[in-house]
Chains A and B, each alone.
Chain A
Amino acid sequence: MMALLVAPVLVPLLTLVLCILLRGAPLRLLQAVSLSGALALLAVGGYLVWLAAGGTILSGQMGNWQAPFGISLVIDRLSAAMIAISALTGLATLVYGISRDEDAPLTGDFHLFVHGLLAGIGGAFITADIFNLYVWFEVLLIASFALMALGGGKRRLSGTITYVVLNLFATLLFLLAAGLIYGSSGTLNMGELAVLVRAGEAPPGTTPALLLMLLSFSIKAALFPVFGWLPATYHVAYTAVSAMFAGLLTKVGVYALIRLVTLLWPEYGLIHEGLLWIACATMLVGVLGAAAQTEVRRILSFHIVSQVGYMILGLALSTPLALTGAVFYLIHHIVVKANLFFIGGLAARLCGSERLAAMGGLYARWPMLALLFAIPALSLAGIPPLSGFWAKFLLVKASLDSAAWIATAIALITGVFTLLSMNKIWNEAFLKPHPQGDEQLPQRLGLRSAWFSVAGLALLTVVIGLAAGPVIDYAAAAAAQLGDPQVYIQGFLPQEGD
């Protein structure tokens, strides 16, 4: 039980250690070990989802220190789904990274840090302790710093500095918030904190500290108006790295927001009202920012921001249907977004540039890539029957049900603008002839594993779209757990009075 509970952290950590030991060994061996580690994590994630789907909530206390004094670890449906989907994204990233990225094959360090990042992400998904969450944030942060700086060069290191300073600032805010929450409420256990806050027994100093924590998560999740760090830095890293960041990093912030807000404030209130407006602004600003960009990854980076707005919209409305939509959106978005970055990298590799002006001719030479791009791109915009349609459908229906007309309108408008952006990439990179002539495009490149990774994720998008029923059912069940925090809490917190 305990072993299974900590497996989402232990498996990547163990693989990380093996990767360090194998640094001198042939790269093939290291890659094999690293991929096996990622597969093992995926298996763990799959098993956890299977358990969680049956209604099991795994929980345990580190070192047998009873809650609320010890650190509680809990895996409910949302955590299990997030673990599985991050394992999948990690695996796709590692597979993509086997083929050469830009000009050189990625070294063993890449594999090592990806597993470090997965360990941090896994830890953030299983913990029910605020300070522990801070520690996992730092683990994933240091791994992401190293990943972003990988390869070096002026442009990349400059981007890394911006990324490091702004993320450290956000994490420091979180640390301060954790300290203040402990100082005022006397607990760091999310369960006990939730009980205190919902009973209205938390001392007055707790609320500002909690708001400070929400601000820090909002920076991590790249919400309006604190999203600036994301589009300013994501385009400088290796494609594999920025794809993994695009898929997973902001989503850890979104997860933390969903977890905290549903636990602490189950009733619709001022916080939700605020989040609703922030969500609307995030959707709109992100998608308009994308319209001004002329490079593939910069366009996609702004779309991360706008898509995060949708998930927060679901959280803000906080009806069961809206939460279902938010969870479904999370799952769908991670797959689609990582895949778009992968395809963008592949297209850039084939065209010799990721500036749209210098790209072209891909449809004529690589029709298969055009198809693979069309699937996640249309899914992102919300065209049926792909996964994005169901995600947007759930959220739009939820906001109509809640009579949030402005939010509905903005969600739909954002969808149209997303389609326009995708259309821009399609016209420039795929339809238009290559500016230097189509014969400039290579016949073949050693990119087999990158193709494999892209095709796998595209297939998954189609499957989620066509067989949306089970996924929506799972998301609805996860949302039901989120809507009833008592279920989450009673797994690890001794109940008083019964």
Chain B
Amino acid sequence: MEWIAAITTGGMAGFGLWMLLDRNLKRVVLGVAVLGNAINLGVLTAGRFGAQQAAFVSAGSGADDLANPLPQALVLTAIVIGFSLFIFALALLKRTRELHGDHSTDLISSMTEQPAPDWHAGEHGAAPEREHKETRP
């Protein structure tokens, strides 16, 4: 059981990393999700499989062969957190697509590397399209 989980973890982690290195942003974001799930499985596996019983001790039953609940609790926490972060990344992706109509990582880097936008010194009002001087017509 453990070696199946270990191979799956490794395979998924490799696949996730490969996707992270893609030019397409969609794949990068999905890659984070795949890598996250691989690591979740890894954390669960590191906590050992084997014991079959749920970790509840009731009056009549003995306390042997109980599965360790801690790795399960850890992974549950990580899944919830990972899911919310994934949703945020997806929202970000959607907005970027609306703005750029494109999903390439090169575009993202070049946008970030653009010089800081200028605005007229002391300008007070809202100026939604503040663009760099040289690009202004």
Contact = CB atoms under 8 A, between A and B. Distances in A.
Interface of A: 100, 102-104, 131, 134-135, 138, 141-142, 145-146, 149, 152-155, 157-162, 164-165, 168-169, 172, 175-176, 178-180, 182-184, 232-233, 235-236, 295, 297, 348, 350-355, 358, 434, 436, 440-442, 445-446
A446 B125 CA distance: 11
A157 B92 contact: yes
Contacts of A180: 42-43, 46
Given A158-B111, A348-B116, 13 more contacts: A103-B126, A104-B126, A131-B77, A162-B108, A164-B85, A168-B36, A172-B36, A172-B39, A175-B39, A179-B44, A183-B45, A183-B48, A440-B122
A184 B43 CA distance: 11
B114 interface: yes
Contacts of A233: 112
Contacts of A131: 74, 77
B84 A142 contact: yes
Contact of B81 (A138, A158, A358, A440): A138
Interface in B117-137: 117-128, 130, 133
> For chain B, what secondary structure do more than half of its interface residues adopt (helix, strand, loop), or is it mixed?
helix
Given A161-B96, A162-B112, A180-B46, A352 B88 contact: no
B32 interface: yes
A159 B115 CA distance: 13
B119 A353 contact: yes
B78 A155 contact: no
A104 B20 CA distance: 35
Secondary structure of the A side of the interface? helix
B111 A441 contact: no
Contacts of A232: 109, 112
B118 A168 contact: no
Contacts of B127: 103
15 contacts: A102-B119, A104-B126, A135-B81, A138-B85, A155-B111, A157-B96, A165-B28, A169-B35, A179-B74, A232-B112, A235-B116, A236-B112, A353-B121, A355-B115, A442-B121
